[in-house]
Amino acid sequence: MSPRFPPERDRDLYRDAGAMSIGIGIVGVSFGALATSAGLPWWIPVAMSFLTFAATSQFAMLAVVMAGGGVLAGLAAGVLVHLRHIPYGMAVGDLYWDRWWMRLVGTFMLIDQSTAFALSAGDDRRRARAAYWITTTIMFVAWNVGTVVGVLAGGFVPDPDVFGLDAAFPALLLALVMPALKDRDTLAAVLVGALIAVGTAPFLPTGIPVLLALVGLLATWPRRRPKGDAA
């Protein structure tokens, strides 16, 4: 049973997660439709969404396959993009590290959105744990339902980017992390990482700029020493 917190905050969490799940479901429709139009059997995109649950990595693999790069090259691209989950796990992994089966399920369900929701809870660990599990469960259902709908719809679904959905996710994630930007060290790391990502995005494959943005953490290194350490 997930930890409880004040009812109004509970409602806010479900509302925010539900709003984001609508967008994720629509993107799932796009993924299923694109995979089908690329000639993949219906069960491949459905199995990918259920067994992988990683939208960005799935799209990266699909892009490589559609460009004629082959399945192995597509898998390599997907794994490379998925490497960003390593620091995510280091940030929120303790929220699901109680039992061995929770480690497996929690690691599998880890995504950008569940990480952002958990971190937005700050030092309130009960809320962070609930936010992680509630968010990731809702997103999992929405992503898989969207994929199935996309597979059924085939090539009749228009490109969701026309409606600006590609900007909706960064905007909502930014809103989630805004409270943390009050900390000067966190703000410095975010600014440096954002500059690196934006500067390298035009020249590098999808996903690599996000990994390079982690260099922004070095901006806080000199100030993160324990107070008792000598200068």
pLDDT in tens, 84-131: 777 778 778 878 777 778 888 888 889 888 888 888 877 788 888 888
| Euclidean distance between CA atoms 126 and 196, whole angstroms | 34
How many C-beta atoms surround the C-beta of residue 25 within 10 A? Answer: 20
* 107 and 89 Cβ atoms separated by less than 8 Å: yes
Q: What is the dihedral of CA 87, 88, 90, 96, to 10 degrees?
A: -160
What's the confidence (pLDDT) of residue 158?
A: 54
Quote the pLDDT of residue 91: 76
User: What pLDDT was estimated at residue 197?
Assistant: 84
Query: Under a CB-based contact definition with an 8 Å cutoff, are residues 200 and 213 in contact?
Result: no
Q: Residue 167: its pLDDT value, please?
A: 56
Per-residue pLDDT of the chain (231 residues; tens, 9 = 90+): 444 445 556 778 888 888 888 888 888 888 888 888 777 888 999 999 999 898 878 887 887 777 676 777 777 777 877 777 777 787 788 787 777 788 888 888 898 888 888 888 777 888 888 889 999 999 999 999 999 998 988 756 555 555 554 555 566 556 656 766 777 777 888 888 889 888 988 887 766 776 677 787 776 665 544 444 444
pLDDT confidence of residue 229: 47
Report the pLDDT value the prediction gives residue 2, as an integer from 0 to 100: 45
Angle separating helix axes 55-66 and 71-82, nearest 10 degrees: 150
CA gap 207, 140 in Å, rounded = 21
Q: What is the pLDDT of residue 230?
A: 43
Which pLDDT belongs to residue 1?
42
Indicate the DSSP class of residue 178: G
Give the Cβ contact number of residue 62 at 10 Å: 21
Domain boundaries, the chain: 7-173, 183-231
Q: Answer for the pair 81, 205: CB distance below 8 angstroms, yes or no.
A: no
Of the candidates 174, 159, 172, the one whose C-alpha atom is nearest the C-alpha of residue 26 is 159
**What pLDDT does residue 138 have?**
93
Of the candidates 150, 124, 113, 155, the one whose C-alpha atom is nearest the C-alpha of residue 17 is 113
pLDDT at 125: 83
Q: CA-to-CA distance for 186 and 220, rounded, in angstroms?
A: 7
Q: Output the six-digit token pair for 183.
A: 């900390």
Q: CA nearest 22: which of 120, 132, 139?
A: 139
